């Protein structure tokens, strides 16, 4: 799948089959995340892969909109050092994870981290240094069911030349 096709067809998926995800696929997804654009080339991100079922259930229970993390065979926590542009850098890495997962035939969904009251607890739960920021939790697995196809605003409605 080429990059533009992956961007056009990627959807957030919240249902997963129970089949495990090969370690090599997870490593390819993380590799895509580490290649994201980053301000001043700081590369402040760290990725914690959680495959243990009990740990995923705990993460899911900690969130307000991520109960499906418990059902995904993989959860990737995107953490960032507290740099000036940690949120932008971590978000770019997260988007790369989502697109890479889709390109590899997997399903994924981003669950918010930054600014959520549960973020410090998850950072601690993952054993990360207390000054790390939780940017996102990404549930990953093999797809179950058909993805939703939400409508997107047409290009003509969002594209502006020279001025708004």
Question: What domains sit in the chain, N to C, each tagged with a CATH number?
Answer: 3-158 (3.40.109.10)
Residue 1 confidence (pLDDT): 84
pLDDT tens for each residue of 34-89: 999 999 999 999 999 999 999 999 999 999 999 999 999 999 999 999 999 999 99
SS (H, E, C) 71-97: CCCEEEEEEECCCCCHHHHHHHHHHHH
Residue from 133, 105, 126 nearest 13 by CA: 105
Residue 147 confidence (pLDDT): 74
Q: With a cut of 80, say whether residue 140 has pLDDT above it.
A: yes
Q: With a cut of 80, say whether residue 93 has pLDDT above it.
A: yes
Banded pLDDT at 145 (limits 50, 70, 90): confident
Average pLDDT over the chain, rounded to an integer: 96
Q: With a cut of 80, say whether residue 153 has pLDDT above it.
A: yes
The rounded distance, in Å, linking the Cα atoms of 151 and 130 is: 40
Q: What is the DSSP string of 115-145?
A: T-TTHHHHHHHTT--TT-EEEEEEEEE-B-S
The rounded distance, in Å, linking the Cα atoms of 48 and 59 is: 12
The three-class DSSP label of residue 16 is strand
């Amino acid at each position: 799948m080429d990059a533009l096709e992956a961007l056009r067809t990627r959807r957030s998926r919240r249902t997963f089959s129970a089949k495990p995800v090969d370690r090599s696929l997870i490593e390819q997804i993380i590799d895509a995340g580490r290649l994201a654009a980053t301000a001043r080339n700081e590369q402040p991100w760290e990725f914690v892969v959680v495959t243990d079922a009990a740990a995923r259930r705990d993460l899911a229970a900690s969130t307000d909109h991520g109960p499906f993390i418990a059902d995904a065979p993989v959860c990737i926590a995107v953490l960032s050092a507290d740099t000036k542009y940690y949120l932008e850098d971590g978000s770019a890495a997260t988007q790369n994870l989502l697109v890479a997962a889709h390109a590899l035939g997997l399903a994924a969904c981003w669950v918010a981290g930054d600014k959520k009251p549960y973020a410090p607890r998850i950072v601690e739960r993952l054993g990360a240094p207390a000054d790390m920021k939780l940017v996102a939790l990404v549930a990953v697995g093999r797809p179950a069911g058909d993805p939703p196809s939400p409508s997107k605003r047409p290009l003509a409605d969002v594209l502006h030349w020279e001025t708004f």
